[in-house]
Amino acid sequence: MSSGIKTVVENAVNKIVAHNPDESLLVAWISIYPVIRLFILLDKKNLKKPHFYKFMGLGDGLIPSDPEIWKVRRKLIEPFFSTKKMKDHAENMYQEMESFGQRLHDEVGKPIDLVHQIHTSTLNIILKSATSIPLDDSMEDKKKFTKLVDKIEPNLCRRGTNPFYYFDWLFKFFEFGRAYNKTNDMIAEFINHILAQRMEIFENALNEPENQDFIHLLEDKIDEQGIHNELLTLIIAGHESTAVALRWILFNLDVQKKLYKEIIQFFPDDAPLDDMDKIKQCSYLDQCVKESLRLNPPVYGSVVGIVVEATHHDPKVYPNPKKYDPDRWSPENASKIPKAAYIPFGYGPRSCIGYRYAMIELKIYTIQIIRKFSLRSTRPHGSISLKAELL
């Protein structure tokens, strides 16, 4: 094992230990070779998610569901992420960006927790697109909910690595078990409140909405619990990737300056941000986003131990892999990167269904921030801790 990959694996183990205070047993198979990743990720025999995914509290939602349910649900949900629907999502994102920009403006000259700000903001957009609830509604409740959602994956990692936590009848007697169940109950209560609020909005509406939201796609096709699970899945999968990826762009002031020059050409001053064609023309922005997702991907790995962190830091594919270098993604360089050597949203049949949504959202946030502000981190890149997440 090369020293670079050895370091990545050691770091991964240290992170697992940090989230596993009970020192329970964990076994992982680890591979960094693209051909092996292709075989694993494309093999339809590997569509089934492992048992411990149920600990996320998503029931039969799209992430943990068995292949039979997953195939049906994915077809139902795909129209929500269609090219046509992206225009509607971009409009919601732009509306939120105006408020988000004002909130940042109020904090100029002061240190801010940008990640938490973005988490609440992206949740706002998801709920508007998914349930038609107004963007500025119940902001304090949304802030509290993002803190609950942030506990889901650490709880999953902790429970999934301790065999004594696998059995519900035993788990509830542990202090962690009681805290875990309380968190899940509070999350369920919030989702039920959102669904009830949506129902009230439509009952009081004079006309049918022009654009169907996420819930419309599922109504009359799956039961209420299924809708609950899929809405929660959408929120968990969609609220964090933008915040995680964006902060790495903001670590690089030289990149910010170059990015600003491109952005201001297509989106001067207060020009609307929902022009999809102009967003696509921002080639350096696309390179920056891809490099951010390579250097510090928002998704950690999978049960077979395909470590995305190691995959994206393979020096044979990415020379000087720790350097933030958007030019890796120039047309002449990007063509040299093999398949499955870049997998921030997974790969194969169970890859992230919302990757285009996430990319558009990330670009719109970046455009709004870069054209309005100059930011610098109060902490060096190396001091930022990583955390484990799951596909």
Q: Widest CA span of the chain, in angstroms?
A: 65
What residues have CB less than 8 Å from 311, skipping those under 6 apart?
A: 32, 37, 340, 341, 342, 343
Q: Which of 19, 41, 13 is nearest to 342 (CA)?
A: 41
Residue 214 CB-density burial (10 A; 0-12 exposed, 13-18 middle, 19+ buried): buried
Answer yes or no: are the C-beta atoms of 64 and 54 closer than 8 Å. Answer: yes
What are the phi and psi torsion angles at 314 (to 5°)?
-70, 115
Q: Is 352 annotated as a binding residue?
A: yes
Report the b/e string of 305-315 with b at 16+ CB within 10 A.
Answer: ebbbbbbbbbe
Outline where the chain has alpha helix (H): 3-18, 34-42, 67-77, 83-105, 114-131, 139-149, 152-160, 168-171, 175-204, 214-218, 224-238, 241-249, 253-266, 276-281, 283-295, 308-311, 331-334, 355-372
Q: How far is CA 18 from CA 21, 22, 269, in A?
A: 6, 10, 45
The answer to whether the CB of 122 falls within 8 A of the CB of 239 is yes
Please report, as a single letter, which amino acid is at residue 314: D
Check if the beta carbon of residue 63 is closer than 8 Å to that of residue 56: yes
The region, left, alpha or beta by phi > 0 then psi within -120 to 50, assigned to residue 331 is alpha
**Contact present, 341 and 317 (Cβ < 8 Å):** yes
Burial bucket for residue 376 (CB in 10 Å: 0-12, 13-18, 19+): exposed
Query: From the centroid of its chain, how far is CA 76?
Result: 21
Query: What is the Cα–Cα distance from 25 to 5, expressed in whole angstroms?
Result: 23
Query: Binding site for heme, residues?
Result: 352
Query: Binding site, residues?
Result: 352
